[in-house]
Amino acid sequence: MPSKQTQQKRLSIGIVGGGIGGVALGVALSRHRHLDVQLFEAAPQFSEIGAGVSFGPNAVKAIQLLGLEASYQQIADSSPAPFEDVWFEWRRGSDDTYLTASMAPGVGQSSVHRADFLDAIVANLPEGIAHFGKRCIDVNQDDDSATASFDDGTHFTGDVIIGFDGIKSAVRRHVLPPEQYGEIAPFWSGTYAYRGMIPTDELEAALEAKGSEKRLALVPQMYLGKDRHILTFPVKQSQLVNVVAFITDRSTPNPKLPEDEEWVQAVSQEGMLEVFKGWSPACQAILECIPEPTRWALHELPELARYQRDRVLIVGDAAHALVPHQGAGAGQALEDAYVLATLLADASCHRHNVSTVLSAFEQVRHSRTCKVQRTSHEAGDVYEYAGENIGANETKLIDNLENRFDWLWSHDPHDDVMAARKIVAVATEH
């Protein structure tokens, strides 16, 4: 009989938040028998709001490294040949003139419906790990453990708490106490996004009726204009087209959302059409196919000073929520999940040095995730003819769009793992 000591798990980990990143982390950690993994989700079941989500080559790489590729490929969409490597085609919103395309070789516009993707990865989560109706309200820790408290009066105490609990994170307050760091709150980016989903055949017919090419429905498009842009890409095995139409208030440096305004609200089609009055035939066709749009006030976080405090770490949107203009948010959460799971599963990681491991994670991820936040905001400026030193100059715009994603997409998250291991090794020697 093994002694009680050897039966004990090497590390107990509490994950707060059951979105895409939290579930991916849970799945990856649950493959290791010596780890005790518990996941706490506020909702009564796993669910995702939002519609389509797109993944760049770096995110697809993280999905592969996380061992979730088979689940992903079953539901992922891609553009029809010969456009399978197109991330987006860029067009002038006033007249549909083609400007250029951003190419992501071997990946293209790899997109899914958010809820479908979450379901696909949840299917890999073993029984007994997920707990629902657990809204985290407080976190505290001492030298030996960390505890998350939930609004139903229950608690979880373990060696580590990972806050994957989104832009309105409760874990964040513990990592960055307001008395030391001030109140950190999501801020409105100045941009509203009108969203809708259109059956593909309906959009193809509408485009043709306006004299536009119906292939615009199947190949991902971005229509650009002053303070506005519209994007489309297919989801649900190309049965539906995901549409997001953006408008940004640049009249003041820090636009404020009206006090009591909900982040997401139903709006009239009429109001949305008014915003894009005078835009191209294709844009009119697209928006006229959305009878009941919702309007989202896009929020982001400031770049945070830190993500880790001893045994507690925030990741994903809890740490670096960003605007969606580079399709990079879910990708960063998945990179976080892969890097973190690999470090925590390493045999050299145990309850006495786990703070060092979390600190190493923060050191290798912080500058990249901050840069993704910053460049995502800048990308929105570029698309809306407000890019620094670019404006409405189409020659400069085309050059920027052809190259701006290279650094983001070429990243291999395994390099982060290797860098973090070096940091831990050095810290352990001293």
pLDDT per residue as tens digits for the range 239-263:
999 999 999 999 998 999 988 999 9
pLDDT in tens, 277-291: 999 999 999 999 999
Task: Report the DSSP beta bridge partners of residue 88.
Answer: 102
pLDDT in tens, 353-402: 999 999 999 999 999 999 999 999 999 999 999 999 999 999 999 999 99
The whole-number average pLDDT for the span 43-62 is 85
- pLDDT higher than 60, residue 6: no
- pLDDT higher than 60, residue 151: yes
pLDDT in tens, 22-32: 999 999 999 99
pLDDT in tens, 116-139: 899 999 999 999 999 999 999 999
Closest by alpha carbon to 294, among 268, 275, 256? 268
- Per-residue confidence (pLDDT) for residue 83, from 0 to 100: 86
Instruction: Work out the pLDDT band at 4, boundaries 50, 70, 90.
Output: very low
Q: In angstroms, rounded to a whole number, what is the distance separating the alpha carbons of residues 55 and 330? A: 7
Beta-carbon contacts of 98 under 8 Å, excluding residues fewer than 6 positions away, are 89, 90, 91
Nearest 5°: phi and psi at 269? -65, -35
pLDDT in tens, 313-346: 999 999 999 999 999 999 999 999 999 999 999 9
The whole-number average pLDDT for the span 2-16 is 73
CB atoms within 10 A of CB 277: 7
For residue 195, indicate whether it is catalytic: yes
**Domain 187-300 class in CATH:** alpha beta
Look up residue 9 and give its two tokens.
């798990």
In this structure, are strands 35-41 and 130-132 parallel, antiparallel, or unpaired?
parallel
* Torsion angle of the four alpha carbons 417, 56, 337, 367, in this order, in degrees rounded to the nearest 10: 60
- Per-residue confidence (pLDDT) for residue 318, from 0 to 100: 98
- Per-residue confidence (pLDDT) for residue 50, from 0 to 100: 64
What's the whole-number average pLDDT of the chain? 94
Q: Choose, from 195, 228, 295, 311, the residue flagged as catalytic.
A: 195
CB 162 within 8 A of CB 341: no
Q: What percent of the chain has pLDDT over 90?
A: 85
Q: In angstroms, rounded to a whole number, what is the distance separating the alpha carbons of residues 222 and 220? A: 7
The whole-number average pLDDT for the span 162-188 is 97
- Per-residue confidence (pLDDT) for residue 423, from 0 to 100: 97
- Give CA 99 to chain center in angstroms: 27
Q: What's 73-86 look like in SS3? A: HCCCECCCCCCCCE
Which of 7-11, 59-63, 151-155, 238-242 bottoms out in mean pLDDT, i.e. has the lowest? 7-11
pLDDT in tens, 63-108: 999 999 999 988 887 777 888 899 999 999 999 999 999 998 888 8
The whole-number average pLDDT for the span 189-195 is 97
- Per-residue confidence (pLDDT) for residue 5, from 0 to 100: 42
- Per-residue confidence (pLDDT) for residue 99, from 0 to 100: 97
More confident of the two residues 14 and 254:
14
Bond from prior residue into 199 cis (ω within 30 degrees of 0): no
Beta-carbon contacts of 92 under 8 Å, excluding residues fewer than 6 positions away, are 99, 223, 224, 225, 280, 394
- 335-to-63, 271, 369, 414 alpha-carbon distances in Å: 8, 38, 10, 9
pLDDT in tens, 417-430: 999 999 999 998 87
Q: In angstroms, rounded to a whole number, what is the distance separating the alpha carbons of residues 417 and 61? A: 14
CB 38 within 8 A of CB 13: yes
Nearest 5°: phi and psi at 173? -60, -30
In this structure, are strands 52-55 and 110-113 parallel, antiparallel, or unpaired?
antiparallel
Q: What percent of the chain has pLDDT over 70?
A: 98
- Per-residue confidence (pLDDT) for residue 238, from 0 to 100: 84
Which of 230-239, 264-273, 385-394 bottoms out in mean pLDDT, i.e. has the lowest? 230-239
- Give CA 11 to chain center in angstroms: 28
More confident of the two residues 95 and 112:
95
- 253-274 in b/e form (b: 16+ CB < 10 A) is eeeebeeeeeeeeeeebeebbe
CB 286 within 8 A of CB 230: yes
- pLDDT higher than 50, residue 1: no
Strand extents, DSSP E, 236-278: 240-248, 264-266
**Domain(s) of CATH 3.30.9.30: residues in the chain:** 187-300
Could you say which architecture CATH assigns to the domain 4-77+110-185+302-429?
A: 3-Layer(bba) Sandwich (3.50)
**Domain(s) of CATH 3.50.50.60: residues in the chain:** 4-77+110-185+302-429
